[in-house]
């Protein structure tokens, strides 16, 4: 494979993104043993690390886009190689410098949509708050308890809008004084950053920060773990610090404080899937489970791979915007694991997970009749 930039440019760019950690790797292969890709398709993070370490330009252009940044390899790596940061650095090089022939990000339409309308779907910015019509949702004003940020999926996707509605009804039932920014809000930029488009991420982040500050926002409530991760861990790079709370944490606190009463039985056997960016990346494991167990009549059954060992749905790292061939979808395997528990409902707390699981459910032999896919808010809403 021919390159269009010198090897030194590759090495320097990887170093600038923290890729010096690649040199710590002694090729033990622990990353490959836990990588979900190796359940469906041959992929070696160890090989990618080795090639990047020595500035090789024969890197398979498809390989740099496979990583879902699920976080399983960093937690078993004995040498702190920082595979995610360095892998994203390779994508940044491919995106900005066209170093690897034919390796540009396979989502040009998504970037264009984000620039034009502030959301990956390319829907009109003017429609961003349409999901809230008729629900009594107010525009955020300084002094409100929390600003609710539903994110792009819950603002535009038909399935996601149902989750946003359930969330609003829960907040209203608990007497939470909240509002939204609506058309003044843009995509958080987390997924586009993971595909290597650093400049676009910074543009989106600066736009959001300007609106948050101008509106006096101090506390942000989010539904997406990816928004949570970006607002909480990445926006501080711009010297701002907001209190960021995920809806699963908030609901658990509302129940604990007695503000949210769950009185209606939901007599179902459910299993809970830990989203990578909620669990492994941010340590939120128990609050969703405790909230679910507070639902009268509900039985919670764990899958074998849970909490820090949860199996990725396949949507992180920008993969939610890329086409994954049938037979290579992590969500198909995860749904099999859920069905094996005997659960009637697979519950999660991430719009990417919901989207992938719904697709996999419809592809099952029974057409998905044997198992439902629910966001945690939808279960909680049933119990009010």
pLDDT given at position 4: 44
Sheet holding 345-348, edge to edge: 299-300, 269-272, 345-348, 372-375
CATH code of the region 261-382: 3.40.50.10700
pTM: 0.92
Sign of the CA dihedral running 36, 39, 40, 46: positive
pLDDT given at position 20: 60
pLDDT band for position 13 (50/70/90)? Answer: low
pLDDT band for position 16 (50/70/90)? Answer: low
- Report how far residue 324's alpha carbon sits from residue 68's, in angstroms, rounded to the nearest whole number: 12
Task: Give, in order, the Cα–Cα distances in Å from 294 to each of 109, 253, 299, 371.
Answer: 43, 12, 10, 22
| Of the candidates 154, 34, 110, 143, the residue with the CA atom closest to the CA atom of residue 319 | 110
- Report how far residue 281's alpha carbon sits from residue 223's, in angstroms, rounded to the nearest whole number: 16
pLDDT in tens, 119-137: 999 999 999 999 999 999 9
Does pLDDT of 309 surpass 80? Answer: yes
pLDDT given at position 1: 37
Average of pLDDT values for 197-218?
A: 96
Does pLDDT of 339 surpass 70? Answer: yes
pLDDT in tens, 227-280: 999 999 999 999 999 999 999 999 999 999 999 999 999 999 999 999 999 999
pLDDT given at position 50: 75
Sheet holding 146-149, edge to edge: 138-139, 178-180, 146-149, 219-222, 243-246
pLDDT given at position 295: 97
Does pLDDT of 62 surpass 80? Answer: no
User: Domain coordinates of the chain in residue numbers?
Assistant: 7-97, 108-253, 261-382
For domain 108-253, is the CATH number 3.40.50?
yes
pLDDT given at position 101: 47
Quick check: do 108-253 and 261-382 share a fold? yes
The residue ranking higher by pLDDT, 21 or 42, is 42
Give 272's DSSP letter.
E
């Amino acid at each position: 494979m021919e390159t269009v930039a010198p090897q030194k440019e590759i090495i320097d760019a990887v170093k600038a993104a923290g890729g010096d950690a690649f040199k710590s790797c002694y090729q033990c292969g622990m990353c490959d043993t836990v990588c979900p890709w190796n359940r469906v398709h041959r992929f070696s993070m160890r090989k990618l690390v080795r090639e990047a370490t020595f500035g090789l330009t024969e890197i398979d252009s498809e390989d740099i886009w496979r990583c879902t940044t699920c976080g399983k390899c960093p937690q078993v790596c004995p040498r702190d190689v920082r595979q995610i940061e360095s892998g994203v650095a390779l994508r940044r090089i491919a995106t900005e410098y066209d170093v690897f022939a034919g390796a540009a990000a396979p989502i040009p339409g998504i970037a264009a949509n984000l620039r034009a309308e502030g959301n990956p779907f390319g829907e009109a910015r003017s429609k961003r708050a349409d999901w809230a019509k008729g629900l009594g949702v107010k525009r955020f004003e300084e002094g409100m308890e929390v600003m609710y940020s539903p994110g792009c999926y819950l603002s535009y996707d038909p399935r996601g809008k149902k989750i946003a509605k359930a969330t609003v009804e829960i907040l209203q039932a608990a007497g939470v004084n909240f509002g939204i920014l609506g058309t003044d809000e843009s995509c958080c930029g987390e997924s586009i950053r993971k595909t290597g488009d650093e400049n676009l991420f910074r543009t989106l982040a600066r736009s959001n920060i300007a609106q948050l500050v101008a509106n006096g926002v101090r506390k942000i409530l989010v539904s997406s773990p990816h928004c949570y991760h970006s607002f909480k861990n990445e926006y501080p790079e711009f010297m701002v610090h907001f209190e960021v709370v995920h809806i699963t944490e908030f609901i658990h606190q509302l129940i604990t404080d007695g503000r949210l009463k769950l009185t209606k039985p939901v007599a179902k056997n459910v299993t809970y899937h830990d989203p990578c960016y909620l669990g492994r990346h941010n340590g939120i494991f128990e609050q969703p489970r405790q909230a679910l167990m507070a639902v009268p009549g509900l039985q919670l059954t764990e899958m074998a791979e849970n909490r820090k060992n949860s199996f990725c749905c396949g949507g992180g790292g920008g993969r939610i915007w890329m086409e994954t061939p049938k037979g290579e979808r992590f969500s198909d395997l995860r749904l099999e694991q859920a069905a094996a528990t005997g659960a009637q409902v697979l519950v999660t707390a991430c719009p990417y997970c919901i989207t992938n699981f719904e697709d996999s459910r419809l592809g099952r032999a029974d057409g998905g009749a044997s198992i439902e896919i629910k966001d945690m808010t939808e279960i909680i809403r049933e119990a009010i």
